[in-house]
Amino acid sequence: MEENKIKNDAITSRDEDFAKWYTDVCRKAELMDYSSVKGFIIYRPYGYAIWEQIQSYLDRKFKESGHENVYMPLVIPTSLFQKEKDHVQGFAPETLIATIGGSNKIDDPLIIRPTSEVLFCEHYAKIISSYRDLPKKYNQWCSVVRWEKTTRPFLRGSEFLWQEGHTMHESEQEARHETLSMLEVYNNMGRDLLAVPFVTGRKTEKEKFAGAVETYSIEALMHDGKALQSGTSHYFGTGFTEAFNITFQDKNGKMQHPFQTSWGVSTRLIGSIIMVHGDDNGLVLPPAVAPIQVVIIPIQQQKPGILGAAKELFSLLKAKGIRVKLDDSDRTPGWKFAEWEMKGVPLRIEIGPRDLANAVITVAKRNDGTRETIPLADCETEVNRLLKVIHEEMYEKAFQFLLSHTVEVQSMEEINHVLNDVTGYAKMMWCGKQECMDVIKDKYNATARVMPFNQIPFGEEKCPVCGKEAHKVVLVAKAY
């Protein structure tokens, strides 16, 4: 009963308080709930089903490109964790550590995995000995734990769900190719599944992953103009393979260290979807990832024929592989409209006495609220067409937003204007010194998101912070 009350409450408006709007949507669309431990959220059925769609898409892409799933232990002995020194420095401050097992003190305390590089390396050291054993392209789906001070549902959790790919290669070239091709898989996922246009590129030295040679990322721009790092792909070189003494005999009989990559995306992607597409009525889900793509709402369902027609339509669409729900509960149509809008179902079908009499159905698109009637006879084709249209419109809208919130800057005033008035990415030429980025961080609380692949210089090719010669193009933004 309490829950029903919540559902009917309006949510905070996006423009009034974006942060509150976000948590309202997370809870009222029933994506998640809090547990009694801070930062450990409960993924409710509707939220988990979105993750399952993402998993299903990526798992297929991974397998098609020759990757294999494995499962590594949940725990890492402290002594093992400390083998690669950059890595341990990056993660040690936020680890959860188990010290008691079966009522006894554990001599080498167990770190709950924050990421599994060291576990994969330890295993690879045992199973790789010849070039014949390469490449090894493993992935795992699991949860990881990072003890965070400030937590927000999906965006930053002490526990989150993710996939982590860890691969080993004969040559630097092959490993670099893997790093970028997995970034491409993620980028395509944005375009084809999430309707989110990512900005991609390389991270600066400061922002790269602990222990990586190079980190690439996909960054999404939220409605409030802040960036969200939504996935990363790392090239490791031989840093870990040397530390873990992983060697193979190459084709010429010479012993070598293999070249390594890792890459991952997490349930943070759900946060991206919410903050890129959502509106003041709640969630707006891209059709490809929506657990329910179409909801059918009978109007005056007690009248003869209505429910029968709605059920027939439901069966027809379901048989065609569309994820459809018939809401024939005893709520009013108005309540149902609000409920399924809150949950972001892409397409609503209304079927009432007048529709039935005219052999039509009324369809409403969640992304822009437009309604139209279509002949019942064409419903299958039309529903599929509309789902495609919705995807394209959502992507296009997000893309236009990204374009209009990415502005070239050549001075501190312009940086200030873009970060605080336009809100979005300040695209600047950078001298390459971290001190200049630190100034921007101090003044505007913004960071270098990526150095985009497109590095065409512009303007006077000077760093707006120090005024010195600048050859790198960097996107700077406030970020989650």
Locate tokens 């409209």: which residue?
337
* Candidate segments 35-43, 270-278, 378-386, 431-439, binder of a second copy by CB under 8 A: 35-43
Q: Are strands 136-145 and 324-326 parallel, antiparallel or unpaired?
A: unpaired
* Candidate segments 15-23, 49-57, 238-246, 383-391, binder of a second copy by CB under 8 A: 49-57
By CB under 8 A, the count of residues binding a second copy is: 60
Which of residues 40 and 335 has its CB atom nearest to a second copy in the complex? 40
* Smallest distance from a second copy to CB 345, Å: 16
Q: Which two tokens stand for residue 475?
A: 């996107």
**Radius of gyration from C-alpha coordinates of the chain:** 25
In this structure, are residues 448 and 437 in contact, taking their beta carbons and an 8 Å threshold? yes
Determine the Cα–Cα distance for residues 367 and 249; give it in Å rounded to an integer.
56
Determine the Cα–Cα distance for residues 254 and 248; give it in Å rounded to an integer.
8
Contact between 64 and a second copy per CB under 8 A: no
In this structure, are residues 43 and 29 in contact, taking their beta carbons and an 8 Å threshold? no
Which of residues 45 and 305 has its CB atom nearest to a second copy in the complex? 45
SS3 328: coil
* Smallest distance from a second copy to CB 346, Å: 20
Burial of 274 (0-12, 13-18, 19+ CB in 10 A): buried
Which of residues 322 and 437 has its CB atom nearest to a second copy in the complex? 322
The residue type found at 357 is A
Q: Which of 13, 15, 101, 181 binds a second copy (CB under 8 A)?
A: 101
HSE of 354 in the Cβ direction (CA atoms, 13 Å)? 5
Q: Which of positions 370-429 make contact with a second copy (CB under 8 A)?
A: none
Which of residues 96 and 316 has its CB atom nearest to a second copy in the complex? 96
Q: Which of positions 66-85 make contact with a second copy (CB under 8 A)?
A: 68-75, 77, 80
SS3 65: coil
* Smallest distance from a second copy to CB 190, Å: 23
Determine the Cα–Cα distance for residues 326 and 57; give it in Å rounded to an integer.
25
* Candidate segments 88-96, 204-212, 406-414, 432-440, binder of a second copy by CB under 8 A: 88-96
In sequence order, which residues have a C-beta less than 8 Å from that of residue 303 and are 6 or more positions away? 353
* Smallest distance from a second copy to CB 138, Å: 7
* Smallest distance from a second copy to CB 108, Å: 9
SS3 382: helix
Contact between 309 and a second copy per CB under 8 A: no
The residue type found at 230 is S
Q: Which of 94, 242, 392, 413 binds a second copy (CB under 8 A)?
A: 94
Which of residues 13 and 79 has its CB atom nearest to a second copy in the complex? 79
Which of residues 253 and 304 has its CB atom nearest to a second copy in the complex? 253
* Smallest distance from a second copy to CB 70, Å: 5
Contact between 102 and a second copy per CB under 8 A: yes
Q: Which of positions 105-164 make contact with a second copy (CB under 8 A)?
A: 109-110, 112, 119, 122-123, 126-127, 129-130, 133, 138, 142-143, 145, 147-149, 158-159, 161
Q: Which of 9, 16, 64, 93 binds a second copy (CB under 8 A)?
A: 93
Q: Are strands 347-351 and 294-298 parallel, antiparallel or unpaired?
A: parallel
Contact between 48 and a second copy per CB under 8 A: yes
For the beta carbon of residue 357, count every other beta carbon within 10 angstroms.
9
For the beta carbon of residue 416, count every other beta carbon within 10 angstroms.
16
Q: Which of positions 195-254 make contact with a second copy (CB under 8 A)?
A: 249
In this structure, are residues 194 and 272 in contact, taking their beta carbons and an 8 Å threshold? yes
Tell me the CA distances in angstroms from 131 to 121, 127, 136, 157, 181, one per residue in order.
Answer: 16, 11, 10, 40, 22
Q: Which of positions 266-295 make contact with a second copy (CB under 8 A)?
A: none
Locate tokens 């999430």: which residue?
194
Determine the Cα–Cα distance for residues 222 and 424; give it in Å rounded to an integer.
9
The residue type found at 18 is F
Which of residues 49 and 389 has its CB atom nearest to a second copy in the complex? 49
Contact between 42 and a second copy per CB under 8 A: yes
* Smallest distance from a second copy to CB 99, Å: 5
Which of residues 127 and 377 has its CB atom nearest to a second copy in the complex? 127
* Candidate segments 17-25, 47-55, 203-211, 318-326, binder of a second copy by CB under 8 A: 47-55
Q: Are strands 75-77 and 347-351 parallel, antiparallel or unpaired?
A: unpaired
Q: Enumerate binding residues for a second copy (CB under 8 A).
A: 1-3, 33, 35-37, 40-45, 48-49, 51-52, 68-75, 77, 80, 93-103, 109-110, 112, 119, 122-123, 126-127, 129-130, 133, 138, 142-143, 145, 147-149, 158-159, 161, 249
